[in-house]
Amino acid sequence: MWEDFVNALNNFVRNKTRTFLSLLGVIIGVASVIVITSIGSSSTKQVADTFGSAGLDMVSISSGGMWRGRSAVSIKFNETFRDNLFENVEDIKQIWYKNSLSATVTYGQTSNSVNCSAVETGYLEALGMQLEDGGRYFNVSDNEEGTQKIILNHDTAESFFPAGDAVGKKILVVVSRVSFSFEVIGVLKEQTTGMENSSAYVPIGFYSKKISPNADAATVMVQATSEDKTSGLIDKIKDYCTSLSGTDTSVNVTTMQTMIDQISSITTTLSTMLSAIAAISLLVGGIGIMNIMIVTVTERKQEIGIRKALGASPNAIRQQFLVESASITLIGGFFGVVVGILISLAVEYVQKQAYVINTNACIIAFVFSVFVGIFFGLNPASRAAKLDPVIALSGE
């Protein structure tokens, strides 16, 4: 077989143009699969990085938006709900209430509209959201007294305080046409967490005392006792809320891991579909190889006749041409993987996102390309093996 491989390489060298055209289809097919799957894997990683690892033990509960029916009872996120949830549902470590509000923030000549969250003491710490040096989180007094303190995220602070001296500054916050003077007590570090994307945070005591007195919470954030308990906690919360309201649409219960899994599943499905389409070009390349091999068999009839006259068996002839056909796709598959990785690197560099090589896709695409060579080379090889040596030597 090694001798057949060496002979195949010599034939490729003698017919450079034909060999290049045969290789081209395989290279394009393999490279296409590598590029698509690598971009898909990179996108999946980017989604995970965007959401971050903090908050994977958090479950978000919000009011359901679907019709509940006449007998259904609406659920209010008040202190009674918090106490009952603690008592009736296992694996809960802590529960936080949260409200959202739109505000216009002004400092000096800069004014921007921001989305703001009113949160309880300890919530930001539980999410693992870190502060830049010199800042502090909300304390119990801030929550109880409803103090006008505010924590800005990194981008918001940078837009108002490009010099990085936000902590201690007074800013004007307008909510529902009412102006409040807030002191910036902290700036969040630049970080990623899918559970929080607010531009600013204020104590929930401020919201309940000065914005909407005695209002129920809009969102309930439940922290599981551990990350591996989060999935089971979702079902327990849903069952409990269903028993309270009489309908399974009273609340929406989600987790960051659920969102990551859903987006990753969509990305993987699209990558698989596109890879399957790209693999069709490999089949087209295989058909091209079969045509080339048929021409090769026709051109080398006398060589086949001589080998048979010297005692070569049909299996030896078949093996010779199968090795030659597989060698084309073997070489094409190798260069296809290299080209695919290089193109993927270029795309990721332009898009400025982390590159993730899909090793399984590289192996599968390479093996599939060799299989294509063997499959489509089988017919020409069988033709060569069946040639009558007398007819072959006569060149007819």
Low-confidence winner among 6-20, 114-128, 346-360 (lowest mean pLDDT)? 6-20
What's the confidence (pLDDT) of residue 386?
Answer: 73
What are the tokens at 352? 């400025």
Report CA dihedral (304, 1, 334, 328) to the nearest 10 degrees.
10
What does the alpha-carbon distance between residue 141 and residue 147 come to, in Å, rounded to a whole number? 8
Average pLDDT of 279-303? 76
- Residue 54 binned pLDDT confidence (cut-offs 50, 70, 90): low
The model's pLDDT over 301-313, given as tens digits with 9 standing for 90+, comes to 777 777 777 777 8
Token pair 């899918």 is found at 194
Q: Is 255 helix (H, G, I), strand (E, B) or coil?
A: strand
pLDDT at 37 exceeding the cut of 70:
yes
Lowest mean pLDDT among 176-180, 251-255, 335-339, 381-385: 381-385
- Rounded to the nearest 5 percent, the helix, strand and coil shares of the chain are 60, 15, 25
d(CA 176, CA 210) in angstroms, rounded, equals: 11
DSSP characters over 140-206 = HHHHHHT--EEEE-HHHHHHH-TTS--TT-EEEEEETTEEEEEEEEEEB-S---TT---SEEEEHHH
Which one, of 90, 100, 67, lies nearest residue 220 by Cα? 100
Q: Which residues pair with 356 in a beta bridge?
A: none
Q: Is residue 242 within 8 Å of 250, Cβ to Cβ?
A: yes
What is the reported pLDDT for 389? 67
State the pTM of this model.
0.62
Distance between CA atoms of residues 186 and 153, nearest Å: 9
The tens digit of pLDDT for each residue in 69-93 reads 555 678 889 999 999 999 999 989 9
Highest mean pLDDT among 44-48, 244-248, 334-338: 334-338
Confidence check: pLDDT of 293 > 60:
yes
Instruction: List the domain boundaries for the chain.
Output: 2-50+261-394, 58-260
Dist. CA 227–CA 233, nearest whole Å: 10
Query: Which one is predicted more confidently, 103 or 9?
Result: 103
Query: Cβ-count burial of 355 within 10 angstroms (0-12 exposed, 13-18 middle, 19+ buried)?
Result: middle
Residue 302: what pLDDT? 73
What percent of the chain is predicted at pLDDT more than 90? 26
The model's pLDDT over 180-200, given as tens digits with 9 standing for 90+, comes to: 999 999 999 886 556 677 899
pLDDT tens-digit series, residues 143-162 = 999 999 999 999 999 999 99
